[in-house]
Each structure stands twice: as C-alpha cells, then as structure tokens.
Amino acid sequence: MTSKNKFISLAILSLAIFLSPLIVAATTMSVPVTDGNYSTTLALAVTVDGNGAFNMSNVSCFYNSAGGAATTVLAHIVNTTASQTSFTSSVDISSFTDLRTYNVSCQIWNMTTLNKTLSAIRVTFDKTDPVILLDVLASGESQPFGEIMNYKCGLSDAVDTTLATQSFVAIHPSGDDLVTTTLTRNKNDFLQFTDTDYVGDFVFECNATDSAGNQNSKTATVTMNELGKIKSISKGASGNNKLIWLIIAGVGVYFLFFRKK
C-alpha cells in the first residue's frame, strides 16, 4: 500500500471514529408514544444525543386534546448539568378530559436555538375504570346439581372500546374437586357454568383492565343447599372498593310464596 493510500485509509478511519458518537447517539421521546395509553400520571421522558456540540439546556412539551398542533404547555424541563442527556418530568393528568385524541410534542432547545421537535399522536388519557354489571340468579330459584347455571357479566369502558384484559371465573366451595373454573362470555354477555354438584358457596368473578391500567372487578356469592336450590346470594367487594351493581330478581316472591314454614 502506498503512503498516499495509507494516508487516505487513516483519514477515513479517523473520521469514522470522530463521527461514531453522532451516528450512534439519537434524540428520542420514550414517553408518550403514538397510540399510547396513560392514566393519572404521564411520565415524560426525552433522551438527547450525547455529543458535546448538541448538549441541550431545556425541553418544552405541549399538547392538543383535539388532535391538532400541540400548543398548550404541558411541562418545561430545564437541565441541571451541562452534559445532561435525560430529561424527565412527572405530569399529573388526573384533571384532563378522558380522550383518545391527544397530540403531544416536545421541543429540545440549546439555549435559544431549537434543535429538534419530537411528537406523539393519538395519545389516550384515561383515568376511568371499566364498568361492570353482574347479574346472577335470584335467591330461592331451583338449580339442579350438574345443570347449567347462567349468569351475565357486562363490561364497558368510556374510552377503551376493546379493554386490554377481561376474565370470568367461578370459584368453587371449599372441599370441591375443582378450585376454579374459567369461563368465556358469549355475544350476549352470558356465561354458562355447569359444575354445581356441591353444597356451599360458588363465587362468580368478573374482572377487567383497560389499556391505561385502570382496573375493576365484581363478585357475587351463590350459596347452594343440599337440595340444589340457591340458598342465598351476597355481594362481594369490588377490586377498587367501588359500589357493586348486582341485579337480584325474585327475592320478594320467594319470601312471600315459596319459603318453607
């Protein structure tokens, strides 16, 4: 290799080494993200590149709840050291309206010079728990052992139309061969449970979590007696200690006409 070629190779290598931090380093916003879901707190997180010429002094973030250009101030984050590369802020969004249409943008500044703008669109702010309506059989109704027991669990959410997770479980009485049975809703929200051939308490649970992490659950305890009748039904505490909506029909009829003297 000639000395000229050696010089060119050395120059290319030196340039690659010099530029490598610029190539590897990046300016990114990890929170929020496009199509992301957030509940009562939004933990803004921006990372700027580590090259000395681009050390940023502050980050300013804005939002628009209607999906347009983000112009309303969300947070200002000022650096604490000249070499700072991570800018974070915890923003309380509990007072914001629950919507799926927020646009958020963060501007990275070097003193008075705008270096870069990062954006996330279709961001969801959602602090509301899923709504659960649990409907079971009424006290005193006949339920022969081993036959189908129907109950209904309706789930809905004002913001998240699909819900991230949902589960439906029947917990068997103590001493039964089975501990729990996992059930699946049909299109009419009904669940069918066939293993009632045991005296005691069957606890029916409906659980739901939305994409922002808000959770709710409802329970109802159905007590079976030795004759295969439903002896009683009691309400259970919801997963977030909210009021349980439990529809019980026919209780008055039972006590008036069918209860044994």
Same domain, 56 and 155: no
Tell me the average pLDDT of the chain.
Answer: 79
Interval 191-208 mean pLDDT: 86
Give the 3-state secondary structure percentages of the chain, helix then strand then coil, rounded to 5.
15, 45, 45
Same domain, 84 and 171: no
Answer yes or no: is 18 within a domain.
no
Answer yes or no: is 1 within a domain.
no
Same domain, 136 and 121: no
Interval 127-134 mean pLDDT: 94
Answer yes or no: is 213 within a domain.
yes
Same domain, 58 and 150: no
> Looking at 76, 95, 125, which one is the last position of a domain?
125
pLDDT beyond 70 at 227: no
> Looking at 125, 146, 175, which one is the last position of a domain?
125
Answer yes or no: is 11 within a domain.
no
Residue 191 burial (CB count, 10 A) = 19
- pLDDT of amino acid 43: 96
Same domain, 76 and 40: yes
Answer yes or no: is 13 within a domain.
no
- Whether omega before 32 lies within 30 degrees of 0, making that bond cis, reads yes
Residue 11: pLDDT band (50, 70, 90) is: very low
Interval 212-216 mean pLDDT: 96
Both structure tokens of 127:
């602090």
Residue 41: pLDDT band (50, 70, 90) is: very high
Three-class secondary structure of residue 109 per DSSP: strand
Name the least confident of 45-54, 59-68, 152-161, 171-180.
45-54
pLDDT beyond 50 at 69: yes
Give the integer Cα–Cα distance in Å for 147 and 133. 24
Three-class secondary structure of residue 185 per DSSP: coil
Same domain, 47 and 103: yes
Place of tokens 């997180």: 45
Same domain, 217 and 251: yes
DSSP codes, 54-107 = G--SEEEEEEETTSS---EEEEEEE-SSTT--EEEEEEE-TTS--EEEEEEEEE
pLDDT beyond 70 at 212: yes
Residue 235: pLDDT band (50, 70, 90) is: low
Answer yes or no: is 20 within a domain.
no
Give the integer Cα–Cα distance in Å for 63 and 38. 14
Same domain, 117 and 153: no
Same domain, 121 and 136: no
Residue 193: pLDDT band (50, 70, 90) is: confident
Residue 249: pLDDT band (50, 70, 90) is: very low
- pLDDT of amino acid 169: 94
> Looking at 79, 105, 125, which one is the last position of a domain?
125
Among 238, 248, 249, 247, smallest CA distance to 131 is for 238
What's the full length of the chain, in residues? Answer: 261
Quick: pLDDT tens for 140-174.
555 556 667 778 899 999 898 889 999 999 999 99
Cβ neighbours of residue 181 closer than 8 Å, sequence gap 6 or more = 169, 170, 172, 193, 195
Displacement of CA 261 from its chain's centroid (Å)? 51
Phi first, then psi: give them for residue 254, nearest 5 degrees. -60, -50
- pLDDT of amino acid 152: 87
Give the integer Cα–Cα distance in Å for 251 and 177. 30
Answer yes or no: is 149 within a domain.
yes
pLDDT beyond 80 at 29: yes
Print the domain residue range for 139: 131-258
Domain with residue 92: its CATH number is 2.60.40.10
Residue 185 burial (CB count, 10 A) = 16
Same domain, 144 and 90: no
- pLDDT of amino acid 149: 75
- pLDDT of amino acid 196: 73
Instruction: Write down the pTM of the prediction.
Output: 0.72
Number of structural domains in the chain = 2
- pLDDT of amino acid 146: 64
Same domain, 120 and 137: no
Residue 87 burial by Cβ neighbours in a 10 Å radius (0-12, 13-18, 19+): buried
Same domain, 145 and 224: yes
